Amino acid sequence: LKAEWDKLKHAKTVTADGKHFELAGNIGTPKDLEGVLGHGGEAVGLYRTEFLYMDSPDFPTEDEQFEAYKAVLEGMEGKPVVVRTMDIGGDKELPYLKFPEEMNPFLGYRAIRICLAEDQMFRTQLRALLRASVYGNLRIMFPMIATLAEFREAKALLEEEKAKLVAEGVDVSDDIQVGIMIEIPAAAVIADRFAKEVDFFSIGTNDLIQYTMAADRMNERVSYLYQPYNPAILRLIKNVIDSAHAEGKWAGMCGEMAGDQTAVPLLVGLGLDEFSMSATSILRTRSLMSRLDSKKMTELAEKAITECDTADEVVALVEEYTK
Ligand code: PEP
Ligand code: MG
């Protein structure tokens, strides 16, 4: 096994019949790059920048952020890096950013909702990202987008900061993809509308599953409802991927499901373009994909979506197709 994985470290990710998929790593700090590259990651599919804020006694300055983003972009040597703007709130708190207590923090003031309201903080992050953009292949991603209005507002702030920097004579890349996380069911349902305006989607299944099933991802008493293979979840994922492709855009996934060995055959069948996961799952997933036939997986996914009533039935079907 070790020998096979060593060989796969420098190989492209292809199925048995030669279809290519991109395997990327999730990171929380520039230090995590080592793991992604060491395990043969082809990209960074999710850089969770909130750790920069959480590890700091006060707001990280524009320069501090710039240095972190630059280090990641340079470290990846031109390979794509998807940086997610700050996703604070829910279970992640900042000691220096206090808000009134909420009854349902996961349904409350978090992520892009905070960024659009506290736009000075958000603008600082956007400026740092824009300045770093010339050091690699930067893609910017907004978290917890529910409506097109939110995306348009965030994108407009990005454009404003870009125009200011250019006017100041600062070099900014002209080739930055701007996308969103799909982790709120409303966005998954109208993905066709979003696909006309974004450059890419990355499906955040950790949140998408909890919001779709109305089952807190931390609550053990309802964990039986946290079902990645539920046909309802698969249909949402299919809608997101198909909507992206209809507009010539790409769709990835950066939730835990992307590296889940039962989900991967289904996601290959649904045509997901990019899979982003913890570094330690990359080689296992590349190895699994190399044994899958993509046409057979298309048939599997189609069947799971049209013929299965329950998550258990989906799991049984995956087992039958991957024996
Ligand atoms: C997700 O929701 O799937 C995700 C990747 O974001 P986080 O786990 O940071 O909420
Ligand atoms: Mg999330």
Average pLDDT for residues 84-103, to the nearest whole number? 91
Region of 232 (left: φ > 0; alpha: ψ -120 to 50; beta: rest) is alpha
Average pLDDT over residues 143-167: 98
Quote the tokens at residue 193: 């509308």
Counting from 1 in the atom list of ligand 1, the atom nearest the Cα of 205 is 3
Q: What is the per-residue pLDDT for 1?
A: 77
Contacts of 28 (CB under 8 A, 6+ apart): 47, 48, 51
Crossing angle, helix 231-246 and helix 205-213, to 10 degrees?
130
Residue nearest to atom 6 of ligand 1 (CA): 204
How far, in Å, CA of 222 to CA of 232, rounded? 17
Give distance in angstroms: CA of 301 to centre of ligand 1. 24
Q: Which two tokens stand for residue 30?
A: 């520039």
CB-based burial, 161-189: b 16+ in 10 Å, e otherwise: bbeebeeeeeebbeebbbbbbbbbbebbe
**Distance of CA 2 from the midpoint of ligand 2 (Å):** 33
Mean pLDDT, residues 137-162 taken together: 98
Using DSSP's 3-state secondary structure scheme, residue 92 falls into: strand
Residue 88: pLDDT over 90:
yes
Q: Spell out a b/e string for 203-228, using b for 16 or more CB atoms within 10 Å of the CB, else e.
A: bbbebbbbbbbebbbeeeeeeebbbb
Is 39's pLDDT higher than 90? yes
CA of 193 to the centre of ligand 1 (A): 22
Confidence of residue 107 (pLDDT cuts 50, 70, 90): very high
Whether residue 207 is annotated as binding a ligand: the answer is yes
Q: What is the mean pLDDT of residues 284-309?
A: 98
Residue 140: closest CA among 84, 196, 68: 84
Does the annotation flag 284 for ligand binding?
no
What one-letter code names the amino acid at 275?
F
Residue 5 binned pLDDT confidence (cut-offs 50, 70, 90)? confident
Tell me: the pLDDT tens digits for 209-249? Answer: 999 999 998 999 999 999 999 999 999 999 999 999 999 99
pLDDT at 93: 87
Least confident interval from 94-108, 186-200, 272-286: 94-108
Kindly state if the Cβ of 254 falls inside 6 Å of ligand 1. yes
With a 6 A CB cut-off, is 231 part of the ligand 1 pocket?
A: no
The answer, yes or no, to whether ipTM is higher than 0.90 is yes
Residue 250: name the closest of 237, 239, 241 by CA.
241
Mean pLDDT value across the chain: 97
pLDDT of residue 6: 87
pLDDT of residue 150: 98
Q: Is 110 in the pocket of ligand 1 (CB under 6 A)?
A: no
Is 193 assigned to a binding site? no
pLDDT of residue 256: 97
Taken as a whole, the chain contains a residue count of 323
Is 286 annotated as a binding-site member?
no
Give the catalytic positions in this structure. 254
What pLDDT does 304 receive?
A: 98
The reported pLDDT for the residue numbered 196 is: 98
Residue 184 and residue 53: Cα distance in Å, rounded?
24
Residue 135 pLDDT > 90, yes or no?
A: yes
* Percent residues over pLDDT 90 in the chain: 93
- In angstroms, the CA 94 to CA 142 distance is 19
Is 87 touching ligand 1 by the criterion CB < 6 Å? yes
Measured on CA atoms in the order 125, 128, 130, 134, is the torsion positive or negative?
negative
